[in-house]
Amino acid sequence: MFRFICKRLLFALPNLLGVLVFTFILARALPGDPAAFLAGPSADPAAIEEIRRGLGLDKSLIEQFIFYIRDMAHGDWGTSWTTGQPVTYEILTRLPASLELTFLGLFMAVAAAVPLGIASALRPGSPVDNLCRLLSTLGVSMPTFFSGLMLVYIFYYLLGLSPAPLGRLPAFAPNPADVTGFYLLDSLLATDFETFKAAFTQILLPALTLALFAMAPLARMTRASMLSVLSADFIRTARAVNLPRRKIIISYALRNALAPVLTTLGMVFSFTLGANVLVEKVFSWPGIGSFALEALIISDYAAVQGFVLVMGILYVLVNLAVDLLQILGDPRIRMGL
Amino acid sequence: MNGFAAHAAFTLKRNRLALTALAGMALLCFLAIFGPYLAQSSPLSTSSEILSAPSKTHLFGTDHVGRDIFSRVLTAARMDLGIAFGAVLLSLAAGAIFGAMAGYYGGIIDMAVTRLVETIMAFPLFVLAMAIVAALGNSVSNIVYATAIINLPFYVRVAKTEVNIRRNSQFVEAAMISGNSGPRVIFVHILPNILPTLMVQASLNMGWAILNAAGLSFIGLGVRPPDAEWGIMVAEGAQYIVSGEWWTVLFPGLALMFAVLCFNFLGDALRDIFDPRKRA
């Protein structure tokens, strides 16, 4: 078992290297000369040259890349020009907001999509199946920023059920004590139900927006995968020996149908990370997406690079986790490795 | 070929949705060509009627500087479809070439192409597109390149597997034995064979390309105000949704959704026509 995990970890390395090479090239290609920027508008060419040497920008690209890898490994991701803080600090303080939103959105999507997919696979052509098809079609064709804004219009403006789409907590509400950075968890840990309720009502609409978007491929895949498993011989046998319906569906069919759904979940996570940027903008969510957008507009290159790197690393890690889950869940994959 | 036409007609007749989507796409293409001439008023001309609700004079209402939203939605079709068409064409061409070469030659070319594709796939694709636009510069043509790059892996994969299947078939061997060069075998003998599969992939991708480009301009990359584009129109209307001016967001958003829906349904229908085995 341990060997398989090590093997899979090794497979992740080239991807991580690819991510690093790309962010390195990106940082070199971003418009604007960092040395000239740091020197200020009144600096003479000699001073700019001095700073360039100080930054190591006069070395060859290969040397620069080695320095770059070393700095990244040491957690030195540069300083954000706008805030004057280290990029790692800026990203780490904002990452929990983004992750909380992404995870809740994905959780809601899975909680809705898997039962819906199963129900429509059990009765193809039924109203449930049509609902599933409608939702998954709308999910892939609605831009997330559009569905988010429409939800705001309906639930905030028309019905008044939701708070204003402005961040994680209402204005002037105290932040819960920082343990995990996830406000929902932190407020529960502090048994502060007032804050939990406030944080929950704030996160509900953005998470729902993400879930609507993430649901479609999951429901589709669950349906297709369940359909093919349900027509297998061993299901017919299970039915013939009159096993309880519940057991056939859950432990015989679903367990076998889950592998492609898990793979899709990894892919959906990637889409959700991208959609997160849009949803964060719509709901003024103080996550790394909003941070990156501000940085993009003023070419704050260390910050943009840090953001892209974090996203790349997150995605590589998630794919790793998905594969490990597959290995744990399915002995056949273990044999194949 | 007659059999094929009959099969296509049969699929379309049975699938009303596909027929509707085909009509919708025809409408969109019509708008992309003639939209700017159909608009009642210039999409850029402002007026004193700020944020007025939909009425007979302004079918879709007006925006925060008094521009007619109906005219802007019509005009924007050209921009949105243009970006998506450009991006899909580019990645189709590049993906077919890379994928075919990787599938045909194998070895080091295959390894290099696979590495490139995996590096692209190692990022959340929308984030990658953001990064590319940031690096290349904030312009419409760079949105096209960025969207093309993030779509590339899908075409490379399809082209590679399809070429791999045909690589050892007799018609390829015959072409090689008669003295055709490698590139000639690929482009003249193999590529025409795999083109239908690639086209299906392209039409399935169009909707996604539209969403992607609109998302990029929603966050302020690419298309600059005051140009009309659906994504940026939604972005401009976004701040008025909390005060109830829904028409600033709804109409450009619906236009976007309509376009994506049409291409998705059409893609599904094309797949049914060309590749009945993969029917969902």
Q: Do A29 and B207 touch (CB under 8 A)?
A: no
Nearest CA in chain B to A146: B253
Q: Do B260 and A149 touch (CB under 8 A)?
A: no
Q: What is the pLDDT of residue A319?
A: 82
**B98 or A255, which is more confident:** B98
In tens, the pLDDT along B149-199 reads: 999 998 998 888 888 888 888 888 888 888 888 888 888 888 888 888 888
Tell me what ipTM this predicted complex has.
0.82
Secondary-structure class of domain A98-285 per CATH: mainly alpha
The secondary structure element, H or E, covering residue B81 is helix B69-105
Q: What is the pLDDT of residue B241?
A: 81
Interface residue of B139, B219, B266 to substitute, partner A, most A CBs within 10 Å: B219
Q: What is the pLDDT of residue B25?
A: 85
Interface residue of A144, A146, A212, A285 to substitute, partner B, most B CBs within 10 Å: A146
Fold of the B10-34+62-278 domain? MetI-like fold (1.10.3720)
**Is B177 an interface residue toward A (CB < 8 Å)?**
no
Please state, rounded to an integer, the average pLDDT across all residues of chain B: 83
Q: What is the pLDDT of residue B280?
A: 44
Is residue A106 a contact partner of residue A268, using CB atoms and an 8 Å limit?
yes
Nearest by CB to residue A312, choosing from B122, B207, B264, is: B122
Is residue A188 a contact partner of residue A261, using CB atoms and an 8 Å limit?
no
Q: What is the pLDDT of residue B277?
A: 58
CA of A292 vs chain B CAs: smallest distance (Å):
10
Q: Give the 3-state secondary structure percentages of chain A, helix then strand then coil, rounded to 5.
A: 75, 0, 20
Please tell me the distance from the alpha carbon of residue B114 to that of residue B119, in angstroms, as a whole number. 9
Q: What is the pLDDT of residue B148?
A: 93
The residue ranges of every structural domain in chain A are 98-285
Q: What is the pLDDT of residue B243?
A: 82
**Is A56 an interface residue toward B (CB < 8 Å)?**
no
Q: What is the pLDDT of residue B86?
A: 93
Contacts 24+ apart (CB under 8 A), B275-279: B275/B196, B275/B197, B275/B200
pTM: 0.84
In tens, the pLDDT along A105-123 reads: 999 999 999 999 999 988 8
In tens, the pLDDT along B43-66 reads: 777 777 776 777 777 777 777 777
Q: Do A311 and B124 touch (CB under 8 A)?
A: yes
Q: Do B253 and A18 touch (CB under 8 A)?
A: no
Which of B153, B156, B128, B157 lies closest to B143 in space, CA to CA? B128
Q: Which residues of B touch A156 (CB under 8 A)?
A: 242
- Specify the 3-state DSSP secondary structure of A79: strand
Q: What is the pLDDT of residue A34?
A: 65
Nearest CA in chain B to A275: B126
**Is B176 an interface residue toward A (CB < 8 Å)?**
no
**Is B112 an interface residue toward A (CB < 8 Å)?**
no
Nearest by CB to residue A293, choosing from B126, B219, B280, is: B219
Residue B190's Cβ-count burial label (10 Å; 0-12, 13-18, 19+) is buried
What is the identity of the amino acid at B35?
Answer: G
Dihedral sign for Cα atoms in the order B67, B68, B71, B75: positive
Pairs of CB atoms within 8 A across A/B: 141
Please, which residues 265-284 of chain A have a Cβ atom closer than 8 Å to chain B?
A: 270-271, 273-275, 277-278, 281-282
Using the predicted structure, report yes or no on whether residue A337 has a pLDDT greater than 60.
Answer: no
The residue ranges of every structural domain in chain B are 10-34+62-278
3-state SS, one letter per residue, for A213-246: HHHHHHHHHHHHHHHHHHCCHHHHHHHHCCCCHH
